[in-house]
Structure 1
Amino acid sequence: MNEQTQGSTVRVFIALAPPDDAKDELARELGPAYEAYPRMRWNRIEDWHITLAFLGELPVATAALLRAPLAGLAAARRPVRLAMRGGGHFDERVLWSGIEGDLDGLHRLAGEVRGVVRECGVDFEERPLRPHLTLARSRRDDPSSVVKAAAGLAGFTGRPWQARRLHLVGSNIGRGPGAIHYRDIEAWSFEGH
């Protein structure tokens, strides 16, 4: 691989994002945890998302091949009605908020998205869909903060909202020190009726 192609990859996933007012509602609920556990590595609110398919590191040209098929899929689909509820953790390291609502529709959408990706010839590890928003990660020396923060979210029930756009997202993970940041490569509105 030459230097020119080495720099032309991006870590890619396809996701849904809650609207700003739903994220603000959850952020208010997290206020006490933000204060109590400042050492946790909190994700930026603008990066909260529900991953439908994680594709890993792809050449930029391959990511571009996904645009037209994903646009077509979004144009034919209706928005999915969801809500955030409760909280939990993965391995006492990752804090998340759960997702409820039209989970059957969410799973169908994820299956369709993954089908489009396979049809484009992109290999990726198919993991079971566990709908959630990743909120924070613990530091290695502080696993109890995630467990306590998850307990603080147990009674949270957010208002219902519509996932109105499908997002093809790139991240800078592995690109140096500091927080992970995500950016839309492109996003498409669900336009089906």
Structure 2
Amino acid sequence: MRVTVKRRIGMRLFLAIPVDAACSEQLKTRLSAFQTRPEIAAMKWTPSPNWHLTLSFLGEVSEADYQAIRESMSDWFAEGMSYFEADLLTLGGFPNLKTGPFWAAKLDATLMMQSLVREIDDHLRPLGFAKRKHAFRPHITLGKWKGASDDFPTIDEPLEPIQLRVDRLNLYQSVLTPSSPPEYRLLNSLPLETY
């Protein structure tokens, strides 16, 4: 008789900025104008409670590595990192404007944003996480295209003056489900200083 051993998979983790209530409401208002368009009918929209700005996707992480990240987070901004506002620039295809496959609110990669990402990367490296392979392109995923790639809606809509308040860094676990959107469980939250 053959026995199948179920392998335990690690936790799927990422570090992100949550979308604050004011930003979320403004995005919902702007999106409502697009969601009824027939050319966008094949878009699977991301539920607004799942909106976030990913700063570092960690992938499958062991329980021991999760504990190490959680414990080290309290020292990450010991010298202070002030909160700031980030401008949402455009709404459209990501990573490619013409083929997507995601629809996202794209943000300005300001020096403050880049500094925050660099500091996170610097703290993750001693814990065994590899250096980032691609340039950081800040965005909030709002939907995924389920239609033919040739039919992807090539819209590049300005979003100004919408701003995202960057005042905390959250550690999330992404729990994938077969039939519904992923569940993002908050595991730790690190507020940025208010000076």
Runs of 4+ in 1 over 6 A off after TM superposition: none
Displacement of 1:83 in angstroms is 2.2
Any idea what SS the aligned residue of 2:162 has? coil
1:134 partnered with 2:141: yes
CA shift digits 1:114-145 (9 cap, x unpaired): 11111112346532100111111110436535
1:85 aligns with 2:86: no
* Contact 1:25–1:158 (CA under 8 A) maintained in structure 2: no
Pick aligned residue for 2:111 from 99, 104, 108: 104
Work out which of the residue numbers 68, 73, 80 in structure 1 matches 2:71. Answer: 68
Give the match for residue 177 of structure 1: 179
Query: Do residues 156 (structure 1) and 159 (structure 2) align?
Result: yes
Q: Which residue of 2 is the match for residue 24 of structure 1?
A: 25
Question: What secondary structure does 1:72 align onto?
Answer: coil
Q: Secondary structure at the match of 1:66?
A: helix
Q: Which has the larger radius of gyration?
A: 2
Give the TM-score taking structure 1 as reference length.
0.83
Indicate the larger mover: 30-39 or 179-188: 30-39
- Over aligned residue pairs, what C-alpha RMSD do you find? 2.3
More helix by share: 1
Query: C-alpha separation between the residues in 2 aligned to 1:60 and 1:146?
Result: 41
Q: Structure 2 unaligned segments of length 5 or more: list them.
A: none
Alpha-carbon distance, 1:161 to partner: 4.2
Amino acid at match of 2:87: A
Aligned-pair identity (%): 19
Q: Which runs of 5+ in 1 are unaligned?
A: none
Q: Which amino acid aligns with 1:30?
A: L
The count of corresponding residues between Structure 1 and Structure 2 is 184
CA apart distance, 1:12 = 1.1
Rate the CA distance shift 1:160–1:20 in 2: closer, same or farther, 3 A.
same
**1:39 match:** 42
Contact 1:41 1:138 in 2 (8 A): yes
